[in-house]
């Protein structure tokens, strides 16, 4: 069955049909692929024909191009963004019961790896406007057992890393930036120096999950660091703890980026800045369309970071979100709640959380955030349609 929703915007050109055959998506991976199809197909076929499926030349080439793009000394490709968090935590030599500070409002992976390694995740509040942790929040959670902190650059903009690094230095803590959502964002320090998000802490990590800003066609991830010693250790851990072939110095894991994925990523890396610009343009359109809607708060920008809009996340006035979401759905507009449940309420983390523990900002955000479709292939017509659908709900046509 197929249904059609027709809509009119001010000019007739805006008339579009949206059907189940061609529904609006949160992310349009197909449309993006079509534009680089020739190059991608050739690269994939070359990989298949070469049979160098593991550790082929494309992995090294991509690693070097990413080091160059990020201006970081070491990129260590690995199997996914979760491994990218786990491997550095194994390399730090932490002990059971050591505490790692993580935000309560993030994807599970950030805290999951901490618990998996027998460490203690300490889940903290985030800023009500930027959705990111701050230096002040982190500092309040530090105890004599704290060893590391994992700031997450949520939805596409960097935490205030200058301030966070000062706190980390003062308390002698490791810093892992979870940069799965903000690759390509620029952070500017007080002195005017600019660095890429993910290259400021001791370690940065990212995910190449297909829907991420730099996504491959399967799973993938990477670790970044300027510290050569740590890099060597992490390369060893990612390769079964192997120091030379069949000699294993430490317990490690098997975590590699496939050659095919590296070849795809190397092509997409060349487009990363242009992809970010397309997302920023879509975000600006939404910002403008929603500026007078009292019931909505549009994304607040970090003062010292650019925003690459992995997500465009609104805060919807208390109690209105379910009806708005339903109204959007009826118009063929998908929307998502990132994240509906604070980490400290997840059953899996029960043992780390005192009964009744609540963080008010995190609670409020879990009840009010709503992410709209945002991707690299959005047309004015599509943005017009989606934002009109939102505006009609609030009677702001």
Ligand X SMILES: *Cc1c(COP(=O)(O)O)cnc(C)c1O
The residues that touch ligand X, with contacts defined as CB under 6 A, are: 80-82, 106-107, 109-110, 152, 178, 180-181, 207, 209, 219, 221
* Shortest Å distance, C-beta 201 to ligand X: 14
* Contact present, 311 and 155 (Cβ < 8 Å): yes
- Write out the two tokens for 226: 């300027």
Residue with smallest beta-carbon separation from ligand X: 81
Report in angstroms the alpha-carbon separations of 242 from 2, 60, 80.
56, 19, 20
Query: Smaller CB distance to ligand X: residue 185 or 293?
Result: 185
User: What is the dihedral sign for C-alpha 167, 206, 368, 364?
Assistant: negative
Query: Smaller CB distance to ligand X: residue 180 or 366?
Result: 180
* Shortest Å distance, C-beta 22 to ligand X: 27
- Write out the two tokens for 103: 């935000």
Query: Smaller CB distance to ligand X: residue 126 or 296?
Result: 126
Largest CA distance in the chain: 69
* Shortest Å distance, C-beta 270 to ligand X: 21
Burial 213-250 (b: 16+ CB within 10 A, else e): bbbbbebbbbbbbbeeebbebbbbbbbebbeeeeeeee
Query: Smaller CB distance to ligand X: residue 109 or 293?
Result: 109
Query: Smaller CB distance to ligand X: residue 106 or 146?
Result: 106
Which residues contact residue 131 at a Cβ distance below 8 angstroms, ignoring those fewer than 6 apart? 105, 154, 155, 313, 365, 369
* Shortest Å distance, C-beta 207 to ligand X: 3
Query: Smaller CB distance to ligand X: residue 109 or 374?
Result: 109
Q: How many Cβ atoms sit within 10 Å of the Cβ of residue 152?
A: 27
Question: Strand 5-7 and strand 221-225: pairing?
Answer: unpaired
* Shortest Å distance, C-beta 394 to ligand X: 29
* Shortest Å distance, C-beta 54 to ligand X: 19
* Shortest Å distance, C-beta 141 to ligand X: 19
Burial 54-68 (b: 16+ CB within 10 A, else e): eebebbeebbebbbe
Query: Smaller CB distance to ligand X: residue 180 or 260?
Result: 180
CA atoms within 13 A on the CB side of 18: 18
């Amino acid at each position: 069955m197929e249904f059609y929703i027709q809509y009119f915007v001010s000019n007739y050109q805006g008339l579009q049909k949206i059907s189940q055959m061609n529904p609006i998506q949160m992310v349009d991976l197909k449309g993006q692929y079509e534009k680089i199809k020739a190059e991608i197909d050739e690269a994939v076929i070359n990989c298949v024909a070469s049979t160098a499926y593991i550790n082929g030349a494309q992995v090294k080439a991509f690693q070097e191009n990413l080091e160059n793009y990020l201006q970081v000394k070491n990129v260590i490709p690995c199997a996914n963004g979760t491994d990218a968090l786990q491997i550095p935590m194994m390399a730090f030599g932490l002990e059971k019961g050591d505490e790692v500070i993580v935000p309560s409002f993030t994807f599970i992976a950030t805290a999951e790896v901490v618990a998996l390694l027998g460490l203690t995740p300490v889940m903290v509040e985030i800023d009500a406007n930027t959705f990111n942790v701050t230096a002040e929040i982190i500092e309040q959670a530090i105890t004599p057992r704290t060893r590391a902190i994992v700031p997450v650059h949520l939805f596409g903009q960097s935490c205030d890393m200058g301030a966070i690094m000062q706190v980390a230095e003062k308390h002698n803590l490791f810093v892992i930036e979870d940069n799965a959502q903000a690759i390509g964002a620029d952070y500017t320090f007080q002195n005017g120096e600019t660095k890429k998000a993910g290259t400021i802490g001791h370690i940065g990590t990212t995910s190449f999950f297909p829907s991420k800003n730099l996504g491959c066609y399967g799973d993938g991830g990477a670790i970044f660091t300027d510290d050569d010693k740590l890099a060597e250790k992490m390369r060893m851990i990612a390769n079964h703890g192997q120091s030379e072939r069949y000699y294993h110095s430490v317990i490690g894991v098997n975590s590699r980026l496939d050659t095919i994925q590296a070849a795809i990523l190397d092509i997409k890396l060349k487009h990363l800045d242009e992809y970010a610009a397309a997302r920023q343009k879509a975000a600006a359109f939404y910002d403008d369309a929603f500026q007078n809607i009292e019931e909505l708060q549009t994304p607040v920008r970090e003062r010292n970071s650019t925003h690459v809009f992995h997500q465009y996340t609104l805060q919807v006035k208390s109690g209105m979100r379910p009806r708005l979401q339903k109204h959007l759905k009826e118009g063929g507009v998908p929307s998502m709640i990132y994240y509906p449940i604070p980490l400290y309420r997840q059953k899996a983390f029960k043992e780390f959380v005192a009964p009744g523990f609540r963080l008010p900002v995190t609670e409020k955000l879990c009840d009010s955030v709503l992410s709209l479709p945002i991707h690299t292939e959005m047309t004015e017509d599509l943005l017009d349609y989606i934002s009109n659908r939102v505006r009609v709900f609030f009677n702001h046509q």
